[in-house]
Structure 1
């Protein structure tokens, strides 16, 4: 299969933002008297902030959850970019795909402004054909709304689109959108967990992504 559109998850797929995410969560949790282990926080990466705070605090009051999320955004705006780094192969792989004329997009549960800020350190303006963040959709992943919205904006062929991500949520998102999925093992989700879902390939990292056809 020759793909013409590559859509990426962000955290644990293109970048390692775990230090920043842990820092922001621990700051808010400590502020309100909660304690969460680093590994427990990392387990929530890929979920919405609201769902993550519910899991970490067991709070169900929506007003409180919304307050925690707002304060998280304030801290993230100041510290997230400096605590986030590209994976070593990310820039090379994306530049190769771009050179080959492929359309590139990011679909994330992170705010779009932060993604632009982070990626702007490494790529020129408009390098990505589309970046869609959590505030651009009514329903977050694994709902297919984000992917469907991007496919429409790019006039992309669903059968020639590949979604790349690190988590079960990403695999479910691709499945719900009826597009191919490629898993990467940059995060904490295991190969065994990803292989449960329909997939084109499960890669250790992004390095071999442009050569999927040759791997078969």
Structure 2
């Protein structure tokens, strides 16, 4: 039986990509770089902010340009209303049901911890996430198992008692590297490579299915 459910954030709990696209394209316009389409951004998501910016800049990816774009984007994103960023339908209800059943809940993401906590405090006030491991330059990002292993150690459960829920190949690789089970969700930003992987226990189309599996 699983005692701990670790969730990815973007594309799993929250639909957040449109505000990211808006702020990145505005940043690229400011600095005279070509903008990208929604689909092109989806192909570049999954890593930490430095990795994403490097992929966005393509042949213009230098250390100087990465810092330039990253700093402008971070400022624009922090100041934007982010009206398009909301939990996927049914997410709160399922989290509450898992919590009521005694399942420990946690989040592991390449988004910063402060950003994650801001959304959790706004939308999930009655959900007690026991641990949130976001991007921290002091530790390696996903697909490193570092964040998952820190959560498992903090909550004193075993790997066999843990399941990771995510939407992308990065999440699958994180689970593999941590040697824990993985559930892949179809409503996020995952690409073909993720859905062709035979590692996840199951791929689900409805978040309510988690209640049957966990």
Output the TM-score relative to the length of structure 1.
Answer: 0.91
Q: What's the secondary structure of 1:6's corresponding residue?
A: strand
Partner of residue 113, structure 1: 114
Maintained 8 Å contact 1:112/1:132: yes
Kindly indicate whether residue 28 of structure 2 is the aligned counterpart of residue 36 of structure 1.
Answer: no
- Distance of 1:48 and 1:182 partners within structure 2: 21
Q: What's the secondary structure of 1:73's corresponding residue?
A: helix
Shift of 1:190: 4.8
- Distance of 1:102 and 1:137 partners within structure 2: 29
Change (3 A) 1:190 1:29: closer
Shift of 1:81: 4.2
Kindly indicate whether residue 194 of structure 2 is the aligned counterpart of residue 193 of structure 1.
Answer: yes
Q: What's the secondary structure of 1:159's corresponding residue?
A: coil
Partner of residue 70, structure 2: 69
Partner of residue 161, structure 1: 162
Deviates most, 88-97 or 38-47: 38-47
- Distance of 1:110 and 1:3 partners within structure 2: 25
Segments of structure 1 that go 5 or more residues without pairing to the other structure are none
Partner of residue 50, structure 2: 50
Give the root-mean-square deviation of aligned CA atoms.
Answer: 1.8
Shift of 1:118: 1.1
Deviates most, 46-55 or 145-154: 46-55
Change (3 A) 1:46 1:192: closer
Q: What's the secondary structure of 1:183's corresponding residue?
A: strand
- Distance of 1:91 and 1:200 partners within structure 2: 23
Deviation sequence 1:48-94 (CA, Å, 0-9, x none): 22112211212332132123212222222122643301111100110
- Distance of 1:158 and 1:136 partners within structure 2: 25
Shift of 1:204: 1.0
* Structure 1 stretches of at least 4 aligned residues deviating more than 6 Å after TM superposition: none
Kindly indicate whether residue 10 of structure 2 is the aligned counterpart of residue 11 of structure 1.
Answer: yes
Change (3 A) 1:25 1:49: same
Q: What's the secondary structure of 1:188's corresponding residue?
A: coil
Larger relative helix fraction: 1
Shift of 1:43: 2.1
Segments of structure 2 that go 5 or more residues without pairing to the other structure are none
Partner of residue 93, structure 2: 92
Q: What's the secondary structure of 1:96's corresponding residue?
A: helix
Deviation sequence 1:169-195 (CA, Å, 0-9, x none): 100100000000000011232577334
Partner of residue 210, structure 1: 211
Output the TM-score relative to the length of structure 2.
Answer: 0.92
